[in-house]
């Protein structure tokens, strides 16, 4: 899971609804992977500040602190909600991951994995 900085969270468009989304993510100039994105206050953890967290569906060998994380949000899975237990939260996250995998395997989503956005020349950054 990658947590975006407060500065990045504050720069997100305010009209994006809180909830769970799916899309593509790329760390540095590496491979593009499926991801689930949470935008909101994580009521189970009683967060005071809004957060944006990407769960990249890939097992990385090392941490990737301080790396650039590029994401493309493609769709909405569900609204943010609270859970009665950690087990219920974990179960919902697993369902979100499975839904993201199904959606991202659709041809119209799969083709975006190869978008040039993920492979910018060294030193270039783009904010979309």
Residue 12: its pLDDT value, please? 87
Query: Tell me: the pLDDT tens digits for 16-35?
Result: 999 999 999 999 888 999 99
Say if strands 19-27 and 69-78 run parallel, antiparallel, or are unpaired: antiparallel
pLDDT exceeds 90 at position 106? yes
- State the pLDDT confidence band at 128, using cuts at 50, 70 and 90: very low
Residue 66: its pLDDT value, please? 80
pLDDT exceeds 80 at position 119? no
Query: Tell me: the pLDDT tens digits for 38-81?
Result: 999 987 787 888 999 999 999 988 888 888 899 999 999 999 99
pLDDT exceeds 70 at position 107? yes
**Residue tagged active-site, from 6, 10, 53, 99:** 53
- Measured in degrees and rounded to the nearest 5, phi and psi for residue 67 equal -80, 155
- Look up 53 and say whether it is catalytic: yes
Q: Can you list the domains of the chain with their CATH numbers?
A: 2-118 (2.40.30.30)
First to last CA, the chain: 21
């Amino acid at each position: 899971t990658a947590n975006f900085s407060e500065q990045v969270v504050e720069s997100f468009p305010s009209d994006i609804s809180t909830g769970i989304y799916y899309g593509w993510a790329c760390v540095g100039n590496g491979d593009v992977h499926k991801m689930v994105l949470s935008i909101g206050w994580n009521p189970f953890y009683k967060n005071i500040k809004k957060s944006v967290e990407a769960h990249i569906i890939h097992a990385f060998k090392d941490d990737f602190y301080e790396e650039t994380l590029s994401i493309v949000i493609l769709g909405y899975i569900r609204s943010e909600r609270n859970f009665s237990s950690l087990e219920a939260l974990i179960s919902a996250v697993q369902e979100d991951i499975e839904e993201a995998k199904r959606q991202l395997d659709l041809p119209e989503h799969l083709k975006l994995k190869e978008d040039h956005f993920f492979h910018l020349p060294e030193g270039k950054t783009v904010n979309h």
